[in-house]
Amino acid sequence: MHRQAEQDAATPGPVTADDLDQSIQLALATLREAPAAAWDTKAGTLRWTCWETVEHLSDDYFAYAAQLGPRAPSLDGPVPFIWEPRQTDGPWNAIHADREAGPAGLLQVLEATGAMLTAMVRTAPPELRSFHGFGASDPEGFAAMGIVETVVHTYDLAEGLGLKWTPPADVCARVLHRLFPDVPSASEPWPTLLWATGRGELPGQERRTSWRWYGEPRG
């Protein structure tokens, strides 16, 4: 019993819609500090511009929200929207922001699609399972995926836009526990998440050149 209590105390806890909303709002607050002229620079080591990366992130939110929408989701493939790039080497999206609306409009698209995913995570039945290429997942899993996309792409964007970005360690810990059961658990959560997604070094570990998460519910 004592050992079980210690294990329970060490478990970070479930990923929630509040975690997702907090991550999105923190990212938005950071990105609103970006210079207006910087959005066509590359986002860190990505091949996309910062503008394209925000469109990609918005598209992730939209796609994950859509997977939670049907009452009996498919386990064989995504909801069949049309995804297409707007330019060579651009991201394949269903969501694109109007360039004439400028950076403020781009971030409005990000906030709106993030709110869609947050709402679906809050309202979808916890027993629901829906397709993802890294394993059929539940609402908590899609929340965790949305957070990973948020924090690591905001990291990419911060590099390209010259901003500082560090997400909450407790949220990173919950996401690592939910989606990355194969990573070291004794290291700091944010550097570990960067390493797990091929974006950083971790003492005693080789740098990852390919990576994935595991969307299936744990336990």
Which two three-digit tokens encode residue 155?
């990291």
Q: Supply the pTM of this predicted model.
A: 0.93
d(CA 51, CA 86): 12
Phi, psi angles (nearest 5°) of residue 197: -105, 20
Model confidence at 208, pLDDT cuts 50, 70, 90, reads confident
**pLDDT tens profile 7-53:** 444 678 899 999 999 999 999 999 999 999 999 999 999 999 999 99
**pLDDT tens profile 93-105:** 999 999 999 999 9
Among 33, 120, 24, residue whose Cα is nearest residue 70: 120
pLDDT at 73 over 60: yes
**pLDDT tens profile 119-140:** 999 999 999 999 999 999 999 9
Q: Domain 15-168: which topology?
A: Four Helix Bundle (Hemerythrin (Met), subunit A) (1.20.120)
pLDDT at 114 over 60: yes
pLDDT at 87 over 50: yes
d(CA 158, CA 161): 5
| Amino acid at residue number 60 | D
**pLDDT tens profile 156-202:** 999 999 999 999 999 999 999 999 998 987 789 999 999 999 998 89
Domain boundaries, given as residue ranges, for the chain: 15-168
pLDDT at 2 over 60: no
Q: Are 134 and 215 in contact (CB under 8 A)?
A: yes
